[in-house]
Structure 1
Amino acid sequence: MSNLPLLRPHAPEAGAIDPKVVRQAADWWVRLREDASAAERDRFEHWRRADPAHELAWQRFSALTRDVAAGVAQAGPSVASRTLLQAPLIRSRRTAIRAMVAAVGVGLGAWAVGERDAVRRLSADLRTGTGERRSLTLPDGTRVELNAGSALDLRYTAERRELVLLQGEIGIVTARDTLGRPFTLRTRGGVLTPVGTHFLVRDLEAGRMRVAVLEGAVDVRGLPPGDAPRRVQAGEQAEFSANGAFQSGPLAPGASAWLQGMLIADEMPLSDFLDELGRYRPGLLNCTAEAAGLRVVGAFPLSDTDRVLAMLQEILPVRVRRYTRYWVTVGLA
């Protein structure tokens, strides 16, 4: 069940919130943090009571902003991260607040649409939070590694062994089953069947998936299964999606580095680097458009993201600006 607060009867569904109402909620959020007068607070309460949609928008918006402030939620839909990533350098408290409001407001719509998926992820058999990695061995001897922000369901029966990746990234070392049950991994982009293998699978969002094979091979079949499966061999990786798109190539450098708690960058754009680092750090982490194209090279420890940010200032002409503990922007020095 959802942990969202109960609303008054006949409140509209989450997906039906008018964008204008979301913007009104965002505007009130800003006003109330700028020494609002008693009269303004009265007007705000009147606005909330005027329409159930106002109350719904306010509760949803407040929930998201609390998550950002507390750093207990992941950055949310990628569209919110991109909004902040492309924003100019924040130069005042008021501008900073409005920039965050814009990002959260956009994320609100995406979050409402994907609420059902979010509930599935929260109730997954196995899941990890921001910065958390987990390793375990399944009853058949298969080893599973969950990267940060991942969710996985287990569907083991007398006839089959199936895992379902709901979010994030996992590493799998399959074991031979004494009962002879086939092993499959189901994703949003297709079904994977390993052939005596060690492989990684990541949900890239927007329906795209990536498989990286370290040992053995993996057969990739689309959803629904129509075309013949595509085989990805050791030392290769492939991106695929439910619409049949498939593109393979050599394994990227450092693809498995997270298994050892490291992030490897080889001429990686700073914007992409911070997206990766943000998986291991609560709150919002972004860079200005001017700094986004700088290239990062090196090996960085995932267990200490503050140290990584300090290292960036040593190897790149950038300055790290912390607006709160959970909101960090990297810009040109």
Structure 2
Amino acid sequence: MTVEDEAPFLREAAEWIATLHSGAVTEEERQACRRWRRADVRHERAYVRAESLWHRLEPVSGRHRPEAGPVLGKVLGPVRRNRRTSLLALAGLLGLGLAWWPLWSLNLTSDYHAAVGEQRQVTLPDGSSLILNSGAAVDVDYDGDERRVILRDGDVYATVAPDPDRPFVVATGLGSARALGTRYAVSLRDRNMAVVVTESSVQVCAATPPPPARHACVDAHAGQRTATDGKSIKSPRGVDVRLATAWLDRRLVADDQPLTTVLEELARYRSGLLRFDDLELAGLRVSGVFPLDDTDQALALLADYLPIQVTNYTRWLTVIGRR
């Protein structure tokens, strides 16, 4: 199972553990948790991992005590007065270890990676270069016939050195983007691979098109964007390249986007967890330009003109709710 496949089960398991340890759990909730665990072996595996982490957090010993102790107190204290918010925060604290596990795994096993909040430039053996966005991880496989970069997560921007005898390809589990020119960005997240071409052309192919099609490819040209879910591929369309690659300038540009989408993007640039309830924030939309190198400022800007409250339990856990 891939990191992307396992993440939803880990989040659900963290929420179940938080509910069971809230001090206000009902028998119906206990039974529902047991049903969830029995429904799928992946649920049980995620639950065991979450429970193990919970027991390691519970003693709160050593150097973690000064920081984690007050957090647990703040989260657990008001649970009966505002159970929904408290459970969200508690699940966030527990989820911190679960969320970091896949990132640690990528960092340990990938050829190159960028830390959370970091932007890293890598020069490849042929003179091509990559810019890795926050949390991105890549492997490099240069053989005699092809220059292949495997994007495992996040965003990468490629500037390709000419070599007509060896194609340059950025590949993911969902598809590939073969350079017919020199500059393009590839993003991999939420089971979606997106490509933005800033110079010349790129051939983008889906990994596993359904039968009877053997290949599903399109050519995207400078100023265009396309995307694939691994099976189908979207027709290239024109985009404002400066906005589509604003992360290169450490900016997030939102144009009437759901607040939850903006928060999910900001979360990729924070070392700690950013937790919120999708249903509670439904209907709130955002337009603006926000700094990615100072996400605290970005959250403060959002709170200035939206009816939301930003609560920092520590630098490791921030909870967003409606005012």
1:153 aligns with 2:139: yes
Rounded to whole Å, the distance in 1 between the matches of 2:176 and 2:45 is: 42
Measured after TM superposition, the shift of residue 219 of structure 1 is 0.4
Rounded to whole Å, the distance in 1 between the matches of 2:280 and 2:105 is: 37
Summarize the Cα distance change of 1:136–1:325 in structure 2 as closer, same or farther, 3 Å threshold. Answer: same
Matched position secondary structure for 1:136: strand
Rounded to whole Å, the distance in 2 between the matches of 1:185 and 1:25 is: 39
Correspondent of 1:275 among 261, 264, 267: 264
1:195 aligns with 2:180: yes
Residues 14 and 91 in structure 2, CA contact (< 8 A), matched pair in contact too = no
Matched position secondary structure for 1:176: coil
* TM-score of the two chains, using structure 2 as the length reference: 0.69
Correspondent of 2:199 among 205, 215, 218: 215
1:123 aligned residue: 109
Correspondent of 1:327 among 296, 304, 317: 317
Correspondent of 1:314 among 304, 318, 323: 304
Rounded to whole Å, the distance in 2 between the matches of 1:315 and 1:129 is: 31
1:234 aligned residue: 222
1:248 aligned residue: 236
State the Cα RMSD in Å.
4.1
Residues 204 and 217 in structure 2, CA contact (< 8 A), matched pair in contact too = yes
Residues 240 and 247 in structure 1, CA contact (< 8 A), matched pair in contact too = no
Residues 121 and 166 in structure 1, CA contact (< 8 A), matched pair in contact too = no
Measured after TM superposition, the shift of residue 144 of structure 1 is 0.4
Runs of at least 5 residues in structure 2 that lack an aligned partner in the other structure: 1-5, 24-43, 61-78
Seq. identity, %? 32
**Letter of the 2:181 counterpart:** G
Correspondent of 1:99 among 88, 102, 115: 88
Residues 320 and 331 in structure 1, CA contact (< 8 A), matched pair in contact too = yes
1:184 aligns with 2:172: no
Summarize the Cα distance change of 1:122–1:313 in structure 2 as closer, same or farther, 3 Å threshold. Answer: same
1:138 aligned residue: 124
1:103-114 matches, within 5 Å, as none
**Letter of the 2:198 counterpart:** L
Measured after TM superposition, the shift of residue 321 of structure 1 is 2.2
Which shifted more, 209-218 or 99-108? 99-108
Residues 53 and 94 in structure 2, CA contact (< 8 A), matched pair in contact too = no
Measured after TM superposition, the shift of residue 56 of structure 1 is 9.3
1:296 aligns with 2:286: yes
In the TM superposition, structure 1's runs of 4+ consecutive aligned residues that sit over 6 Å from their partners are 21-24, 64-67, 103-108
Matched position secondary structure for 2:265: helix
Rounded to whole Å, the distance in 1 between the matches of 2:17 and 2:284 is: 36
2:75 aligned residue: none
Matched position secondary structure for 2:118: coil
Rounded to whole Å, the distance in 1 between the matches of 2:253 and 2:153 is: 22
**Letter of the 1:296 counterpart:** V
Deviations 1:76-107 (A, max 9, x none): xxxxxxxxxxxxxx885765553356578899
**Letter of the 1:281 counterpart:** R
Rounded to whole Å, the distance in 2 between the matches of 1:322 and 1:310 is: 11
